[in-house]
């Protein structure tokens, strides 16, 4: 597991809302779509956008965003369904337990938690399965442990 990565934290709630809104509107600059932005947008969607059915819409939201910035969603790049759905499950679990109330505080606590780690899905998936084409193209159940 990766232990030497320090996430970039957020100072303002507005910065997180801008990332989420930019993702939905497909106006977020490509370079702003970082690991931290992925998790911040997920937490924002789950906690502040009840009008968005994250489970039903997240794949389309991210695929369309990727394409809007010139990205490709194929067997080797772009949207990865199993990683995304693992993090959605993790963020939901995190939200059910965090005492933080401000958006930036919640996102930063998430980023500093085990769930916020870039390699967190590897607690549930073997590397071989997680980085397979079927896992990228659609959700596959973990082979090491159930998701939270």
Residue pLDDT tens, the chain, 148 long: 445 678 999 999 999 999 999 999 999 999 999 999 999 999 999 999 999 999 999 999 999 999 999 999 999 999 999 999 999 999 999 999 998 889 999 999 999 999 999 999 999 999 999 999 999 999 999 999 999 9
Sketch the domain layout of the chain as residue ranges. 13-137
CA 140 to CA 147: how far, in whole Å? 11
Least Cα distance to 77 among 68, 85, 67 occurs for 67
Cβ atoms of residues 84 and 23 within 8 Å? no
User: Who contacts 45 (Cβ-Cβ below 8 Å, separation ≥6)?
Assistant: 20, 52, 54, 58
3-state secondary structure of 76: coil
User: Who contacts 20 (Cβ-Cβ below 8 Å, separation ≥6)?
Assistant: 40, 41, 44, 45, 48, 49
pTM flag (> 0.75): yes
């Amino acid at each position: 597991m990766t232990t030497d990565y320090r996430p970039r934290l957020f100072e303002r709630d507005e910065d997180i809302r801008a990332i989420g809104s930019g993702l939905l509107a497909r106006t977020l600059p490509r370079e702003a779509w970082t690991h931290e932005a992925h998790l911040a947008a997920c937490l924002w969607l789950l906690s502040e956008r009840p009008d968005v059915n994250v489970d039903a819409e997240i794949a389309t939201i991210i695929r369309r965003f990727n394409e809007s910035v010139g990205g490709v969603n194929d067997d080797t790049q772009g949207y990865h369904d199993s990683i995304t759905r693992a993090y959605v499950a993790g963020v939901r679990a995190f939200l059910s337990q965090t005492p933080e109330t401000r958006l930036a505080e919640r996102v930063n606590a998430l980023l500093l938690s085990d769930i916020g780690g870039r390699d967190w899905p590897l607690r549930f998936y073997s590397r071989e399965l997680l980085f397979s084409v079927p896992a990228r193209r659609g959700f596959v159940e973990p082979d090491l442990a159930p998701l939270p």
